[in-house]
Chains A and B, each alone.
Chain A
Amino acid sequence: MQCPKCHAPMHTYNRNGVQIEQCSGCRGIFLDYGELEALTRLESQWSQPAPPPPAAPQAYPAPPQAPAWGAPHGGGHHGGHYGHKRHKSFGHMLFSS
């Protein structure tokens, strides 16, 4: 491709897995969509030990453990399953020996 500023030919370089184009005339650099963010992220990884993982939006830190023989809980195709059963069972099953 040609440089959009001076129309000299641009050459493609790979910097840490990010493809960047540099003009052979004015030395200007052309970044595709998202490449600046990719480079910034890479730069911060060099200067910081490791970014903390993003906090997951959950009602409680982790779902409580359950036995392997238990019923599938929450989420996925079982979402709302226990809620329905809870409503049906609460009044009698949870009040008898």
Chain B
Amino acid sequence: MTSNPLLPHLTARAEATAHSRTSACPCGATVTLADRPDATVVRHADTVAKAHAPDITPTELTPRLTTATHLPDLLLPPLTPTPVNLHGRLVTFWPYGTPVDPADPDAAPWEAAATLLARLHRTPAPTPLPPARGPVKAALAISRLRAVAGPEPMTTGIASPPTGITSADTTSPPTATTSVLRAWDTLPAWARAEAPQPDSTTLCHGDLHLGQLVCHPAPDGPWLLIDVDDLGVGVPAWDLGRPAAWYACGLLAPEEWHRFLTAYRAAGGTAVPAEGDPWPALDVPARALTVQTAARAITKALAEGRPLDEVEESFVDACDRMASVPLELTHGHAK
């Protein structure tokens, strides 16, 4: 892995900011929390510095930061209200919060996540915001898959799976790509980011998963949502789409899904009807996020020259089944 030239600068800024917050910094090591093309995140003591994606502009990011500043009971508020420019990257500073433990499924805060989303969806946007980026991210995952899989995924040869691993065709990335692209093509235009979302007022997080929750103040404070990069106005069911997709693909037990959905409804969330079948509202976002997850998994498997693993395959299998089940229509969202 090539070293990221941004990292030492970001580390220095995190340390400087941490030291400006306290006169008695224990001054341990600065830890890199994430170093991906779309974000680099470092932590020094109680301060986190994040370098945002290279293509993001202050015009897009600043109202999202403003929203977090105005809603400190729902979103972790930034330490500074506007981003700074560091070597061409926008950088923001945040207090450290304790994340969800990836090693402890039983401790996952399903009720807290659902309640935060329900309250977010009921809150008027405190400042004019761009659209939530859920559909844009799904479209991005598909275009990346198309770029690595080539124009004709049926004809293999780009990345044949290594011999002797699994024999089933569905684990082969080229075959799986066909399933995923077919499922993608059945989605309505708005879910593929080819038309505006049918809701332009509801405040949405835009990228909910279990890595988007922290306890603040660490370690025992209340749960808050983090990462405003995809926050905006849009279809709130998109925020429920990932847990819905995990449940539909067999990763989430019925009990956990039931807890999540019940807590969301109890907190007055508007993405699904208060009672009855929630799937007419969830179908399109859950399909889109299943397709997005499958696309990312195949892209990754191709890059690593390996077949899909069992969990990744369950998303591709769901894409296969989608082709034969018509979309559930509701509120005109599935146009």
Measured CB to CB, the residues of A under 8 A from B are 59-60, 63-74, 81-83, 85-97
Residues of B within 8 A of A88 (CB): 310-311
Chain A residues whose C-beta falls within 8 Å of the C-beta of B215 in the assembled complex: none
Please indicate the chain B residues that have their CB under 8 angstroms from the CB of A95 in the complex: 100, 102, 209-211
**B250 and A73 contact, CB distance less than 8 A:** yes
A64-B325 in contact (CB<8A):
no
Q: When the two chains form the complex, which single residue of B103, B253, B258 contacts A86, counting CB atoms closer than 8 Å?
A: B253
Q: A69-B248, A86-B105, A97-B137 are in contact. Are A60 and B311 (CB under 8 A)?
A: no
Interface size on B, residues (CB 8 A): 42
- Residues 240-263 of B contacting A (Cβ, < 8 Å): 246-255, 257-258, 261
Contact indicator A70/B252 (Cβ below 8 Å)? no
In the complex the two chains form, what is the Cα distance from A95 to B214 in whole Å? Answer: 12
In whole angstroms, how far apart are the Cα atoms of A43 and B266 in the complex?
45
Q: Report the 3 A-B pairs with minimum CB-CB distance, sorted nearest first.
A: A71-B250, A70-B248, A91-B102
CA distance A74 to B257 in the complex (A): 13
Nearest opposing residue in chain A for B100, CB measure: A95
Determine chain A's interface SS by DSSP, over half rule.
loop
Contact A69 B322 (CB under 8 A): yes
Closest to B244 in A: A67
A32 to B33, CA, bound (A): 76
A96 to B38, CA, bound (A): 13
- B328 touches A (CB below 8 Å): yes
A83 to chain B, nearest CB (A): 7
Question: Which of B70-78, B161-169, B194-202, B279-287 forms part of the interface with chain A?
Answer: B279-287
Contact between chains at A68 and B325 (CB < 8 Å): yes
Residue B126 interfacial (CB < 8 Å): no
Q: Hey, which chain B residues are within 8 Å of A72, CB to CB?
A: 250
Least distance between A27 CB and chain B CB atoms (Å)? 58
Chain B residue at minimum C-beta to C-beta distance from A60: B258
Report A84 CB to chain B, min CB distance, Å: 9
Shortest distance from the beta carbon of A52 to any chain B beta carbon, whole Å: 23
Nearest neighbor of B137 in chain A, beta-carbon distance: A97
How far does the alpha carbon of A91 sit from the alpha carbon of B101 in the complex, in Å?
Answer: 8
